[in-house]
Structure 1
Amino acid sequence: MKKIQLLSILFVLLVMASCNKDLNTELRYESYEFSGIDEDAGDWKPILISHGSELEIPAPSSEDSPEYLEEIEQAKSLISSMTESQKENLEFWTNNSVLRWNEVALALIAKYNLIPGPNVDESYTLPNPNNPAGPPPFPFSHPPYASRALAYLSVAQFDGLISAWHHKFQFNRKAPYQVDATIPHAYVDNGLPSYPSEGAVLATVSRKVLTAMFPLEAEYLASLEEKHLESLILSGENVQSDLEAGMKIGEEIGSIALTRASNDGMKYAQSPKAVSDSLRQAAFDRFGWQWENLESPKRPVGLTPLFGQVKMWSVPYVEATRPEVPPAPGSEAFEADIKILKNYADNMTEEYRRIANFWQDGLGTYTPPGHWNDIAGEFILKYKFNSIRTARAFAYMNMAIMDGGISCWDAKYYYYYPRPIQLIEGFETIAGTPNFPSYTSGHSVFSAAAAETLTYLFPQEGSIFKEWAEEAAISRVYGGIHWTFDATVGTTQGINVAQYTIDVAKQDGADN
C-alpha cells in the first residue's frame, strides 16, 4: 500500500524505524472496510467504568435543524479549501486511528527508553515526574514503564469507545456525507453514525493519557490531537458538534484512567536502596543466594524493585501467579543448566545470534511490550477490525502484559536469583546484562502473556503466536542473559497470568 508520510510526526516514524531493523514498525494501510461495525458494542462491559451510558453527552441537534445545517456548511467550506498538507494529514489518520495512536505511543517509548547515566561522581539521579526536564529527563521508559503506559492508553481508548458506541446507536445521527451528497467522503463507507465522533474520543483520550506518561511531549501531543480532530471534519464523517461530544467523553475517561494510575503504586516502584537491600537480605535468608549487580559503574538500586506491588488489572493478588522456587545453585538441575548455557556459548550459530538480536528490544527501542503491540497491529489489519475491536484487542493484550510484568517483577525481587554471568566463572553474554535479578525472564513472561491473549483474540493464528513467544523466551538464553528455567518457567507464568485477563474478556459481551 501507499506509504503515508506526515511531516508533523516525521520524528515518530524515524524513531520507530530505528526500533528494530528486522521489523516494519510503521503499519502501512489505508482506509478499509471493517469486517463488522459491532452495533451492540455500546453494551459491552467496560474496564474502568460500569457501562457505556455512564459518561453522558447532550442529545444532538436534528439533521434538519438550523444549527446542524450551519455545521454542514462550515464543513463543506473547510473541505473545499483543503491544502496539500491537510490532505496528507487526512490520509494519515484513516478510519481506524487506534492504530495510529498506538504507533505514537511506541515511538515515545523508544525515544525515552534510555538509562539515566551516572553523575561526575558516579552517583545516579533518578528521573523525577515532578521535574520532567531533569536532568535526567522523565520518564525512563523501561519495559515495566512501557507496559503500564500502553495498558492505560488502550484501556482508556476501549472504555471511551464503548461509551461512544452506546451514544452513536442511541442517537443514530447520520454522517455529513450521508446527509449532504455534495460532501466528499475520504474513507471507505462503514455506515457508522457520526455522533459522537469516535475519532474525537481517541484523539482526546490518547493525548491526555500520553501527556501524563510523557509530560515533555505535551506540546507535540496537543498538535497531534489538533491535526487528528481537523481530519475528522475534512473526511466528511463529522461536524463540529460530533467532535465536541467525542472530546467530552475523551476528557472524562482520560481523567478516570489517570486517577487509577495515580493510585496504582507505580510512584513507589523505584524504591530507595534500603528497601532494595532488605529484599535482597530477605531472599538470602530464605534461599541462601542473592543477585549482585555487575555493572560498572554500578547503579545502587536494581530496576523498579517494587513494580511487583503495583495494582494489577485482572489478577486478584500477585502471589496467585508467583512461580515455584528456582533450582538452588549447585543442585543437579542447576549444573545441568550450566552445561546448556555453555554449549550455546561455545556453539553459537548465526541463527541463534539472529534470534537473540531480533528479540533483544533493548535501549532505544519500544521494549518487549511494544514489540507485541507491533505484532498485534499487523493481525488487526489482517482481520479488518473496526476501531472498537482494535481498542479491545490492545486493551486486553496490554492488561495481560502489564499484569505479567508485575508478576515477573514480584518473582525477581522475591527470589533475587543471580544471573548466569554471576555464577558461571568466565561466562560472557552477547548482550548487555540487565540490572535486575534473573528469575523469571521478563521477555518470556511479557511474550507468553501477549501470545496467549492474542491466541484468544485470533484463535486461528494461535500456533504462530505461541511459536514466537517461545522464540522470544529462548532468545534470552541464546544471549546468555538468562537460565533456561528463567525462560521456561517465565513462559508458564505469562500463560497463567493471561488466563485471568482472558476470563475477564470472555465476560464483556463482545463474543456473544
Structure 2
Amino acid sequence: MKQFSCILLTFILVGFSACQPKPNPAGLDAFTRFQLADWNKQLSHIIITDIFSPPVASRIYAYTNIAAYEALVPGYPACQSLSGQLNGLENVPAPESGKEYYFPVASAEAFATVMKKLTLVPANTEKFETDYLKQIKKIGIKPEVLENSLAYGKKVGEHVIAWALKDNYLESRAMQRHMLSQKIEEWQPTPPDYMPAIEPHWNTIRPFVMDSAAQCKPQKPTSFDTLPDSKFYKEAKEIYMLGENSDEEKQLIAKFWDDNPNVSYTKGHITYFKQKLTPGGHWITITSNVCKAKELNPMEQAEAFVLVTASLADGFISCWDAKYKYVHIRPETYIEKYIDPEWDPILQTPPFPEFPSGHSVISAAAATALTNLFGDNYAFTDSTQLVIGLPVRKFKSFYDASDEAGISRMYGGIHFRPANEYGAQEGKEVGNLVYHKLKTRKNGQVAKL
C-alpha cells in the first residue's frame, strides 16, 4: 500500500510539473512574473507618443505579444507554438538543444525586438530594454544563460518581424486615399479638423486568424432617409435627443471610453492636440490588471495577451472592411443638415465612416476573449483613465464593460444605434472565432484561466 501511495504521488507530481516551467535562476521569477504587463504599458506609452491610429496600434500590440508568447512557450511543455495556426506564421525557431535558457528574458527580448521595428523611435524601446537588463543582471543570472536567452529572443523577434512584413501593411501605405463621394448618404469629413478618412485600405491587411477581412460581417445598417417618419431619421433623432438631454453620468461614460488618440483643441488662434490611449490600448490595460489580480503565471498571461490582441487586431480588420463598404454618414453631418444646424456632439467625431462602431466591435471582441478565458461573471474595476483624471468604473463582467463602451458612442453623439448593436454582434463573432481556432495547449485545448 505504501509503495502504491508513493507511485501515485510521483504520478501526480509529474502531471503537475508538465504545466509548469523548469526551475529558474533564484530571484528572477518575482521580477519577471508580470513583465508582459509592464512591456505592454511601455508599448502603450510609445503608441500614444507616436500617435498611431487605433487600427495600426492593434497590429503592433498583436505582433509584439505573439513574439513574447513564442519565445516563452518552449519553457512550458504543456503549451505549444501558434506556428501553423496564425495566418502565414510558420517554422518559429526552436531553442538549441544543449543550451541553458531563461525563457522570460527571451520573451522580453522578442517583444522588444518587434517593438523597436514597428514603432517610430527605437531609442524609446532601447532605454526601457536597457533598464530591464540592468535589473536582471543586478538580481543575478549566469552570463551564458543571459546571452543564450537574449540571442534566442532576438531570433524569435526577427522571425515575427519577417512574418509581419508580409501582411500588406507597407503596401497599403502607398495606396490611394479615400475619394469623397457626392452622395448625400455617404461619409463626409467632420469638424473641427475635417481630416481625410484614415486607413481606407485596412481590409487589405492579412488577418491573424480570420480567413478574410469579410469573414465576420455585420448586419446591414438602416437605409438612409431624410423623411421625419423614416426609421433612419428616428435613429438620428435619438442621438440628437441623447445629446440634448445628456446628464453628468452619460457624459462621464462617453469620456471614459472615448480613447481618441489625437483630439484637437482650439483656443483663440492656437490649435493644440492631446494624445490619449487607443481603444485597443484600453483593453490591453484591462487585460494586464486582470492577469495581476488573478496572479497568473507568465505563460498564462502570454496566452491571455495573445488571444486578446489577436481578437483586437482581427476586430479592426473586420470593422474597417465594413466601414468602407457602407461609407456611412456620421450623426454630426446628418443632424446638422436635417435636424438642427447648431447641434454639436459631446465627443469629437473620428475621421472615418460611421458604420459599424469600432468601439463596439473591438470591445466585444476583447470582452469575448476575456470571458472565454476567465468566465461570464468576472467582476472588475477599471482604473485605466485615472491618468487623465477620470474616476474608476466598476463592472459586473467583461460584457458589462463592452456594452458600456458601445453605448458610450451613442452618448458621445458619434454613432447611431445599429452601429453599436450590430458592431457588438460582429465583435463577438470575431472573439469567438479567435478563441476557438487558436490552440495554445498541446492537448488541443484552449486556456481556461
Could you say which TM-score interval applies, normalised by the shorter chain?
Answer: 0.7 to 0.9
1:371 equivalent in alignment to 2:309: no
RMSD, matched Cα? 2.9
- Which structure 2 residue ranges, 5 or more long, are not aligned? 1-14, 80-98, 263-274, 379-395
Matching residue's letter, 1:208: T
Asked whether the equivalents of residues 276 and 302 of structure 1 are also in contact (C-alpha less than 8 Å), the reply is yes
The corresponding residue for 1:255 is 158
- 1:495 pairs, out of 415, 425, 428, with 428
- 2:45 pairs, out of 102, 107, 111, with 107
- 2:348 pairs, out of 432, 436, 447, with 432
- 2:178 pairs, out of 256, 276, 297, with 276
Task: Map 1:7-46; keep pairs closer than 5 Å.
Answer: 39-40=18-19
1:214 equivalent in alignment to 2:112: no
Q: Residue 259 and residue 375 in structure 1: after superposition, are their counterparts in 2 closer, same or farther (change >3 A)?
A: same
The corresponding residue for 1:412 is 323
Q: Residue 499 and residue 167 in structure 1: after superposition, are their counterparts in 2 closer, same or farther (change >3 A)?
A: closer
Q: Residue 201 and residue 461 in structure 1: after superposition, are their counterparts in 2 closer, same or farther (change >3 A)?
A: farther
Q: Residue 199 and residue 91 in structure 1: after superposition, are their counterparts in 2 closer, same or farther (change >3 A)?
A: closer
Report the Cα offset of residue 348 of structure 1.
0.4
The corresponding residue for 1:52 is none
Structure 2: distance between partners of 1:152 and 1:375: 19
- TM-score normalized by the length of structure 2: 0.76
The corresponding residue for 2:189 is 293
Matching residue's letter, 2:168: G
- 2:296 pairs, out of 385, 388, 411, with 385
Structure 1: distance between partners of 2:211 and 2:352: 25
Structure 1: distance between partners of 2:17 and 2:377: 22
Matching residue's letter, 1:227: D
Matching residue's letter, 1:439: F
Report the Cα offset of residue 437 of structure 1.
0.4
Structure 2: distance between partners of 1:158 and 1:456: 19
Structure 2: distance between partners of 1:38 and 1:446: 36
Query: Percentage identity across aligned positions?
Result: 27
The corresponding residue for 1:342 is 240
What CA deviation, in whole Å up to 9, does each residue of 1:285-334 have, x standing for no partner? xxx832111245543x3101011221111111122112222111117331
Matching residue's letter, 1:353: Q
Report the Cα offset of residue 163 of structure 1.
2.5
Q: Name the SS for the 1:348 alignment partner.
A: coil
Structure 2: distance between partners of 1:92 and 1:437: 46
What CA deviation, in whole Å up to 9, does each residue of 1:62-112 have, x standing for no partner? xxxxxxxxxx9xx9xxx9xxxxxxxxxx99954331111111111111222
Structure 1: distance between partners of 2:151 and 2:358: 38
Asked whether the equivalents of residues 406 and 424 of structure 2 are also in contact (C-alpha less than 8 Å), the reply is yes
Asked whether the equivalents of residues 236 and 334 of structure 2 are also in contact (C-alpha less than 8 Å), the reply is no
1:232 equivalent in alignment to 2:130: no
Asked whether the equivalents of residues 473 and 487 of structure 1 are also in contact (C-alpha less than 8 Å), the reply is yes
The corresponding residue for 1:245 is 148
Matching residue's letter, 1:355: I
The corresponding residue for 1:304 is 199
- TM-score normalized by the length of structure 1: 0.67
Q: Which moved more, 1:223-232 or 1:319-328?
A: 223-232
Matching residue's letter, 2:185: W
More strand by percentage: 2
Matching residue's letter, 2:162: T
Task: Map 1:316-355; keep pairs closer than 5 Å.
Answer: 316-330=211-225, 332-355=230-253
Structure 2: distance between partners of 1:298 and 1:488: 27
Report the Cα offset of residue 207 of structure 1.
1.6
Structure 2: distance between partners of 1:418 and 1:271: 26
Structure 2: distance between partners of 1:356 and 1:478: 6
Asked whether the equivalents of residues 41 and 165 of structure 1 are also in contact (C-alpha less than 8 Å), the reply is yes
Aligned length: 372
Q: Name the SS for the 1:424 alignment partner.
A: helix
The corresponding residue for 1:200 is 105
Structure 1: distance between partners of 2:408 and 2:101: 46
Q: Residue 350 and residue 38 in structure 1: after superposition, are their counterparts in 2 closer, same or farther (change >3 A)?
A: farther
- Which structure 1 residue ranges, 5 or more long, are not aligned? 1-35, 43-71, 80-89, 114-140, 169-193
Asked whether the equivalents of residues 200 and 324 of structure 2 are also in contact (C-alpha less than 8 Å), the reply is yes
What CA deviation, in whole Å up to 9, does each residue of 1:172-229 have, x standing for no partner? xxxxxxxxxxxxxxxxxxxxxx94112321331122111112231x223223223322
Q: Name the SS for the 1:319 alignment partner.
A: coil
The corresponding residue for 1:457 is 373
Structure 1: distance between partners of 2:107 and 2:369: 23
Structure 2: distance between partners of 1:429 and 1:457: 36
Structure 1: distance between partners of 2:43 and 2:377: 25
Q: Residue 461 and residue 246 in structure 1: after superposition, are their counterparts in 2 closer, same or farther (change >3 A)?
A: farther
Matching residue's letter, 2:43: A
Asked whether the equivalents of residues 18 and 78 of structure 2 are also in contact (C-alpha less than 8 Å), the reply is no
Report the Cα offset of residue 38 of structure 1.
6.7
Task: Map 1:131-150; keep pairs closer than 5 Å.
Answer: 141-150=52-61
The corresponding residue for 2:90 is none
Q: Name the SS for the 1:321 alignment partner.
A: coil
Runs of 4+, deviation exceeding 6 Å: none
Q: Name the SS for the 2:215 alignment partner.
A: helix
